[in-house]
A = this chain, B = another copy of it.
């Protein structure tokens, strides 16, 4: 799918601070950036691409920050999780994938071993288990803004049974890891997301590849543009500053464009 993305972020930074931003479409094998334009004022942020194609904007900045990003991305045919994808054992996973089996700040999978085994163990391997996790979350957790905070982890969401996209992703990731399925968080732009915003989804490793799954079911996987991935939301904050930082404006749009 060909997708037009427009992002406009305006912040007031009362004091000079170091800033880290992760808002541009990733340079990964599963999407092509057909065109893009980034305008930052003041111009003190510099881009650096890491080994996995994530594009970090960094620099020291103060006063009024205005960041405008427009891009057209072809995300190919984002493939749906194939029914035949199998779960790979801890002994056979690529070493680089192993960390995504481990608990992280917002995904304390070590606490969920018994629940995951009882609830999803009988569902067989791989895709069937991931689908069972996705169905369970859809059936048991409500999408509600305001009940979770930036501190909420998956255990909190599991108890409260409510949250937003990042909470859904964290709970899904946690349950998959507890089942021995590597899982990570992906920040993205999403066509048709209402209201438009940054989105967070889960990505699972099955059959020697990563697969995107939107546990909120608010945005079709085919309309996602990948920004960043990490162990959980802590790794892929779209903006991080050392000092205070006040949001003035945030506008995001992602629309499918005839190809």
Interface residues in A217-257 by Cβ distance below 8 A to B read 230-231, 234-235, 240, 242
A115 interface hit (Cβ, 8 Å): yes
Judge whether A103 and B105 touch: CB under 8 Å: yes
Can you name the residue of chain B whose Cβ is closest to the Cβ of A153?
B108
Judge whether B234 and A102 touch: CB under 8 Å: yes
A58 interface hit (Cβ, 8 Å): yes
Known A90-B18, A91-B19, A91-B59; contact A110-B234, beta-carbon cutoff 8 A: yes
A161 interface hit (Cβ, 8 Å): yes
Q: In the complex the two chains form, what is the Cα distance from A71 to B217 in whole Å?
A: 53
Known A60-B89, A89-B18, A90-B242; contact A162-B114, beta-carbon cutoff 8 A: yes
Q: In the complex the two chains form, what is the Cα distance from A60 to B90 in whole Å?
A: 9
| Contact pattern, A 115-148, Cβ under 8 Å of B = 1, otherwise 0 | 1001000000000000000000000101000000
Known A114-B142, A150-B110, A180-B242; contact A102-B235, beta-carbon cutoff 8 A: yes
A43 interface hit (Cβ, 8 Å): no
A215 interface hit (Cβ, 8 Å): no
Contacts of A142 in B (CB 8 A): 114
A34 interface hit (Cβ, 8 Å): no
Interface residues in A64-114 by Cβ distance below 8 A to B read 89-91, 95-96, 98-99, 102-105, 107-108, 110-112, 114
Q: CB within 8 A of A60: which of B19, B50, B91, B102?
A: B91
Can you name the residue of chain B whose Cβ is closest to the Cβ of A149?
B149
Interface residues in A18-50 by Cβ distance below 8 A to B read 18-20, 48, 50
Q: In the complex the two chains form, what is the Cα distance from A150 to B99 in whole Å?
A: 18
Judge whether B48 and A90 touch: CB under 8 Å: no
Known contacts A103-B234, A114-B142, then 16 further A-B pairs from the complex at CB < 8 Å, ordered by chain A residue: A19-B91, A56-B95, A58-B90, A60-B89, A90-B240, A90-B242, A103-B105, A104-B104, A105-B107, A110-B151, A114-B162, A115-B159, A115-B161, A158-B158, A158-B159, A159-B159
User: Could you write out 13 A-B pairs with CB less than 8 Å apart?
Assistant: A18-B91, A51-B95, A56-B98, A58-B91, A60-B91, A102-B234, A102-B235, A104-B234, A105-B105, A110-B150, A155-B155, A158-B158, A158-B159
